[in-house]
Amino acid sequence: MSRAVIDVCGRQVDLLESGEGAPLLYLHGFADVHSVKEIWLPFHEKLAQRARFIAPAHPGCARSDENKDIDTIEDVVFHYLEVLDALKLTTFDLIGTCVGGWIAAELAVRHPEKIRKLVLIGAAGLFVPGALIGDVFMMAQPEFGSSYASLREMLFSRADDANALEMFPDGKGELEDEVRRYQMLRLSSRIGFKPPYFYNYALRNRLHRIASPTQIIWGENDKFVPRSHAETYAALIPNAQMKIVPGAGHSVHVEKPAETTKLILEFLND
Amino acid sequence: MKPVQLFCWHFMAYPYLAKDFDEKESSGWVTVPNRLWDDNKSRGLYQEYTDQLVYADQLGFDGMVLNEHHQNIYGLMPSPNLIAAALTQKTSHGKIVILGNLLPLHLNPMRVAEEYAMLDQMSNGRLIAGFAPGGGPETFNYDVPSANTREKFWEAADLIVRSWTEDGPFAHEGRYFPLRYVNLWPKPLQKPFPPVWIPGSRSPSTMTEVAKRGYCYFLSSRSHGGETHRAQQEFAAVLEKHGDKYQPFRFGILMSTYVAETDRQAREECEEGVWYFLKNCLKGHLRREGRQLTYGPGVPYIPAAAWREYLKGYTPGRKLLGDVENWDELEASQSIIVGSPETVARRIQNLIEKAKVGNLLIQFQLGNMPDHLARKSMKLFSEQVAPALRHASLKQFSEEYADLKVEPVAAEGVHESRGH
């Protein structure tokens, strides 16, 4: 695993890269590398064994410079177009988790020609009437002074999930983990606090533009982004299949890494 | 020279929550269900509260203070400007302080500029214009993203003052509030513009912006242990850095008090109201029980580097004001001063001496405190505490700020303000 900090339009982008072969770009979510942890989780490592796995940190996250001119998802998409140019990536496979999934979908509708295959994991981004995405910001406020149980409950299948407790412990956690969590919330609040929350109304009317075969992976008990969002993505993206992972919540890539990577690798190598 | 200015601050809490509220609800803010609003009991509530402020004016307080909060039981003034308008008709002496309109919550800052200008005219020049950014709960109430709040706030504040002082129509080519035609009708009465007060919690950036503009800094902390005089020193240092000099009327603090004939009587009389305030009103705000909405990673309005520094000094689950469990702990927090006139005068006098503060904004009505007790406390304060405070502070300020030219308390009529 190598870490680099590259310059993109005068701002630094924190980059983790590992493996060889066809480029596989990964856009992270909340319970993930860059947004909590500094290094790969088992999920990423497995994928890096079979591809050139590249994971940038979103603007303002980890060591990526903040950009206070990011007001909407559009600004993040244009940032990533610059990142692609800096990395000289013209066509690649793309995986996006959660907020990263939203960014991936927005990238794909604008530049379908760049993406060979697309994987969306627990992806935000859609307006689905009657199915609001959860309020991660409210859940991130501690209860009883120091409990993050309700945040863990939202992002995982259970508040006492071992991975959840490691990433979002009660009380005081690892300082830099907590700073990364804060940075992710700050970036997310720029694009996802309004409208409430994490959707772009226009996106669902653009999904038909996605040309690549698409796999939509969802935890069976996702309490952050409801199942109907997976179904909507699957229905509106032309060449899409939906895979539900049993016994997992929103952070399916952390809770069930083996099952999730198996689905992805079979799909990518199809 | 003038003595310490004494204001009466009303928060207008919802006083009719049942005794099991703390058990059943996790917050008094944002998500507190509004089916708890009692249609029958609440009739006349705004009248009662407004009349208490009018009474304060009659008692000779230097002004009345209002503030803006939304969707909560701590303060029922989503629009303090409406109460201020009522006060312009029912009072004619004291200042009317709105501390403050929450600028990032307004789609158009000119709405604030216009309403404040109207209020200044309607009150014959008694408005003190507060601008505030709004806290965590307001972010949730109005879906206002946090990261650029500070910049948005200052663009709005500067636009408002510009509209008060510069000939219109002019174009404001703003990042957040671009407007092609800014042309304020009416104009405010006070010249060059009504005094502007800004609350802060000791961030150097807020102090700097306040100092640069000549405004008054209001320390938005309810607790006055050592931090208050340290805050004053910090502000004084920032003023000097910008070629200005500290004087007591550039600084204000919020505190609460209950005065009765004896210390013991004071505690007995205010106990229910104080504890309602601490346990119910502060739940979701300055209490760790339930879900705290005011400060935390879910309202990420400071840069990550500042958050890291905060985390280093942070003790999870440390007690906040609403977590005190008995009178001793409450007393140690130095935020609600309860006692006889002598006790209260001594404690506040001590604070003025150390913190050199010229504006005391005092909350008298707490929680579900009944009308007659709030009034009794206010009356005792004005008759037996205020004179001592005025006498001592006049002496102190005259000695410590001898070369300060401060206009004496204005008589009726147009009030000359210098922006502070």
This model of the complex carries an ipTM of: 0.94
Give the amino acid at A47.
Answer: L
Strand partners, B102: B132
3-state class of B210 per DSSP? Answer: helix
Residue whose C-alpha is closest to residue A224's, from A118, A37, A98, A45 = A98
Round to whole Å and give the CA distance between A203 and A110. 10
Contact A195, A91 (CB under 8 A): no
Q: What is this structure's pTM?
A: 0.94
Sign (positive/negative) of CA torsion A162, A167, A170, A176?
positive
Contact B93, B57 (CB under 8 A): yes
B313 and chain A in contact, CB less than 8 A: no
Among partner residues B143, B308, B316, which is closest to A171 by beta-carbon distance?
B316
CA distances from B138 to A252, B104, B109, B310 (A): 33, 10, 17, 22
Domains in chain A: boundaries? 2-269
B174 and chain A in contact, CB less than 8 A: no
Q: Beta strand A52-56 with A92-97: parallel, antiparallel or unpaired?
A: unpaired
Two structure tokens written together for B216 = 């008054």
- A162: which residues sit within 8 A by CB, 6+ positions away? none
Give the amino acid at B8.
Answer: C
pLDDT cut 90: percent of chain A above it: 97
Give the model's pLDDT for residue A219.
98
DSSP letter for A196, please: T
Contact A122, A99 (CB under 8 A): no
> Which H or E element spans position B158?
helix B149-165
Round to whole Å and give the CA distance between B290 and B322. 11
Contact B311 A140 (CB under 8 A): no
Give the model's pLDDT for residue B420.
43
- B371: which residues sit within 8 A by CB, 6+ positions away? B48, B52
Each of the 420 residues of chain B gets a pLDDT tens digit; together they read 999 999 999 999 999 999 999 999 999 999 999 999 999 999 999 999 999 999 999 999 999 999 999 999 999 999 999 999 999 999 999 999 999 999 999 999 999 999 999 999 999 999 999 999 998 999 999 988 889 999 999 999 999 999 999 999 999 999 999 999 999 999 999 999 999 999 998 999 999 999 999 999 999 999 888 889 999 999 999 999 999 999 999 999 999 999 999 999 999 999 999 999 999 999 999 998 889 898 899 999 999 999 999 999 988 878 899 999 999 999 998 899 999 999 999 999 999 999 999 999 999 999 999 999 999 999 999 999 999 999 999 999 999 999 887 766 543 333 344 444
pLDDT digits (tens, 9 = 90+) for A84-143: 999 999 999 999 999 999 999 999 999 999 999 999 999 999 999 999 999 999 999 999
CA distances from A248 to A140, A222, B252 (A): 21, 7, 53
B26 and chain A in contact, CB less than 8 A: yes
3-state class of B338 per DSSP? Answer: strand
Contact A121, A252 (CB under 8 A): yes
B148 and chain A in contact, CB less than 8 A: yes
Q: Beta strand A11-18 with A2-8: parallel, antiparallel or unpaired?
A: antiparallel
Sign (positive/negative) of CA torsion A192, A197, A200, A204?
positive
Give the model's pLDDT for residue B416.
42
Round to whole Å and give the CA distance between B213 and B129. 14
Two structure tokens written together for A27 = 């856009």
Give the model's pLDDT for residue B409.
54
Contact B292 A143 (CB under 8 A): yes
Contact A138 B140 (CB under 8 A): yes
Q: For B297, name the nearest residue in chain A, comparing CA atoms only.
A: A182
Among partner residues A179, A185, A196, which is closest to B311 by beta-carbon distance?
A179
CA distances from B34 to B187, B212, B283, B314 (A): 38, 42, 16, 34
3-state class of B362 per DSSP? Answer: strand
3-state class of A197 per DSSP? Answer: coil
Residues of A in contact with B293 (CB under 8 A): 138, 141
Contact B181, B405 (CB under 8 A): no
Contact B335, B374 (CB under 8 A): no
pLDDT cut 70: percent of chain A above it: 100
> Which H or E element spans position A4?
strand A2-8
- B-interface mutation test, from A63, A154, A185, most B Cβ less than 10 A away: A185
Q: Which CATH class is domain A2-269?
A: alpha beta
Q: Beta strand B336-339 with A52-56: parallel, antiparallel or unpaired?
A: unpaired
Calculate mean pLDDT across residues A162-191.
Answer: 97
Calculate mean pLDDT across residues A225-251.
Answer: 98
- A246: which residues sit within 8 A by CB, 6+ positions away? A220
Kindly report the length of chain A.
270
